Chain A
């Protein structure tokens, strides 16, 4: 439990005056995530500790350097969970998880990291400590700056404390498997999507479709009967392997693309692929040029992130069109006028 807010604020104030760029460093579990960025290291991992946790309020507030493992353990002790099932990737901090807006297999059914974010304390690029949002479920006072921090990769502000909504841990969970081709899996997912079923994860890995059902035991058994398929015993390691990219599919050195798509999108790109998020998140190992992949994905209503093993200097995230980039540059300037916080990390021009 250490609060280093004032130290961090002073470091940023100094950097602001000296126009010294800063490279925000948490636990270093996601160094691969985003464009490379230069600058003096600003270490946040010592800023740790759960500040408040009220199980009956469904809210936890912790300092950004707190490890996800600590948070998960604290929640599990009270039979609660983080609804967005974030990946740990070895040793993630809460701040890094929110800054990257990373969510696991439960995302399409429960929401993303940004959906659970209730409030945060941040330091902007001038070194000002500010608090946006709060610890209540509903709060529409002022612009939703807190949620804007999710996925901003630290470029708008350094996260100090984060308040998240939490969920009760489901009473039971089962996973069923159906041997299907990719096309059959996609059409099954589309059929299932419009039915009120207790699905909390759905993934296709070339051996077939895996569907996780969560809730009370009677309800999930009834849903299993409806959907059909073979029961997979002890499926937790399987979902962990999907969430943490430890599944055998990820043993590949080709460039790895994350395709974020409308879940029913029919898209065919050369390469090895896997489907998660019920169709909305697809992983693709492919040597094809970035423009080819990105234009196909954009045409299908999505965007493509060059997640790992890049062999070129292409942008990490899907490039923005001119007008959108201009707006985002203006927004960046509103928080970080000297452009010192993780410059270039999200986009080279930001």
Chain B
């Protein structure tokens, strides 16, 4: 195997295949790439490559593979778990210039796009055909479909319409040895192992996504939203279960607690009751007849579940207004504290009261305020921890608090990430959610695609040594995690 080469040598090699504007290596040019949406983690890459086509991606990957150089793929850099955090010794591969919509197949309800196409741009391109792409992460205006596949992104409509994995049909990837591989098909399944599922959410660890065929859906005839307020968050939680028990799958079912309500109302004046302990936003979509009947049913359920006030948006403008508050919740919280840290865990819904109570206890213990935004329908919590990065030690305290919240989610029978991914952020908590054999299995899967470990190394799946070190710091119930491992 050839020796690892230094930065200058690599620049020389890559500049033979890339245009001058496709290769960045000066510090000031690298700076914008030092972090993704999780800005607490920063690292300058060795260099940034911005290929313009699949062949260039293949050549870059082949060169990096040959010279044993790590490759970190990046879309729009909106990820919230540090999945696109660069490596000092690695090439940051930006797929942003592969941004064309290649084909819209109206008959089969498919759109084939390059990975750098923005999520919302797909829906915008097909809206005149009465179609749309369902997954709608809150960053949809900026985030790219390649990143969505890498993270298995969700959004507010997951309960009814599923995650990215349910809404894509085929991807093309470049393997670490530079081969183009087509995974999935334009039919409803493909022969062999379901690599489409394996790649979705694999955080750039198995291959570089260079093309995505997404499924399109007919736009629902109508959508309607109910805003329900509660003076007790547990009552609101039970109301969510009551709606599901009534046989209704809402298109969206969101909950916000009082600090989140106040922040959002103050910011965008959505018409939220600022004295409520919690609000639920329940969106119903479908045919006009279906939605009418479901609205009646949901109102009835809510009336029997201890609601203090129910409003149904009277028109599209009001519906948008109701949603505006929820969609602006994160920036709204950003206005009431110098910094906030957005967590992302999932729990079985019935554990919501226990988890919220425990979060509030932790909040007191760490002396850090929390606002809770919750995809209540599918049990995905987004506690926002408010802090001030300029106060010495506060970020560290926040991260520790965040880690405790994730551990709560595991205890409740849930997961440390619902839609933001593991990246760098939650890598330690992986040691708690998974056993040694499970982590070894993940490493074996990784090695099947990338034996040298060059694709996004150090992310998503912790090494067993890392877990041993983390376990030494976090002794649970008097038991050391992974006692079979040597300590370093």
Contacts and interface: CB of A to CB of B under 8 A. Distances in A.
Interface in A207-222: 215-216, 218-219, 222
A345 interface: no
A108 interface: yes
B201 interface: yes
Interface string A216-249: 1011001100000000000000000000000000
Interface size class of A (residues with CB under 8 A): 35 or more
Contact of B416 (A115, A141, A169, A323): A141
Given A136-B415, A301-B185, A56 B349 contact: yes
A54 B193 contact: no
B109 interface: yes
B437 A130 contact: yes
Given A57-B348, A136-B348, A219 B287 contact: yes
Contacts of A112: 188-189
Nearest to B375: A138
Nearest to B287: A219
* Most chain B beta carbons < 10 A, residue from A145, A152, A346: A145
A265 to B, nearest CB: 8
A260 B187 contact: yes
Contacts, number: 267
Given A56-B349, A147-B194, A194-B131, A142 B152 contact: no
Contacts of A347: 192
Contacts of A55: 244-245
Nearest to B380: A138
Given A196-B221, A219-B287, A260-B187, A114 B194 contact: yes
Contacts of A142: 422, 430, 433-434, 438, 442, 460-461
Interface stretch (A20-28, A62-70, A325-333): A325-333
Contacts of A129: 437
A334 interface: yes
Contacts of B420: 140
Contact of A136 (B130, B346, B421): B346
A294 to B, nearest CB: 10
B129 interface: yes
Given A145-B445, A198-B286, A262-B105, A346 B192 contact: yes
B360 interface: no
B415 A138 contact: yes
Contact of B189 (A134, A156, A260): A260
Nearest to B441: A130
Contact of B422 (A56, A141, A171, A190): A141
Interface string A125-139: 000111110111111
B188 A328 contact: no
Contact of A135 (B110, B348, B435): B348
Interface in B409-467: 413-422, 426, 430, 433-435, 437-438, 441-442, 444-449, 460-461
A193 B129 CA distance: 12
A222 B290 CA distance: 10
Interface stretch (B45-53, B155-163, B386-394): B155-163
Contacts of A181: none
A143 B194 CA distance: 12
Given A323-B181, A330-B448, A331-B445, A264 B187 contact: no
Given A152-B193, A335-B444, A140 B421 contact: yes
A144 B164 CA distance: 12
A76 interface: no
A302 B187 contact: yes
Contact of A277 (B188, B414, B422): B188
Interface in A103-134: 107-108, 111-112, 114-115, 124, 128-132, 134
A194 B249 CA distance: 22
Contacts of A131: 435, 438
Interface string A170-213: 01000000000000000000100111111000000000000000
B348 A108 contact: no
B189 A137 contact: no
A114 B151 CA distance: 18
Contact of A263 (B108, B205, B430): B108
A167 interface: yes
Given A195-B218, A327-B449, A139 B346 contact: yes
Contact of B201 (A140, A156, A193, A331): A140
B205 to A, nearest CB: 8
B151 A334 contact: no
Q: Which 4 A-B pairs have the closest CB atoms?
A: A138-B418, A137-B378, A168-B247, A147-B197
19 contacts: A57-B350, A134-B415, A135-B348, A138-B158, A140-B417, A141-B430, A143-B205, A144-B200, A150-B197, A152-B193, A152-B194, A197-B218, A216-B294, A219-B287, A280-B188, A327-B449, A328-B193, A334-B448, A335-B444
Interface of A: 54-59, 79, 101, 107-108, 111-112, 114-115, 124, 128-132, 134-145, 147-148, 150-152, 156, 167-169, 171, 190, 193-198, 215-216, 218-219, 222-223, 260-265, 277, 280-281, 301-303, 305, 317-320, 323-324, 327-328, 330-331, 333-335, 346-347
Given A138-B415, A194-B131, A327-B449, 8 more contacts: A135-B413, A140-B422, A144-B165, A144-B202, A196-B287, A261-B187, A323-B181, A327-B448
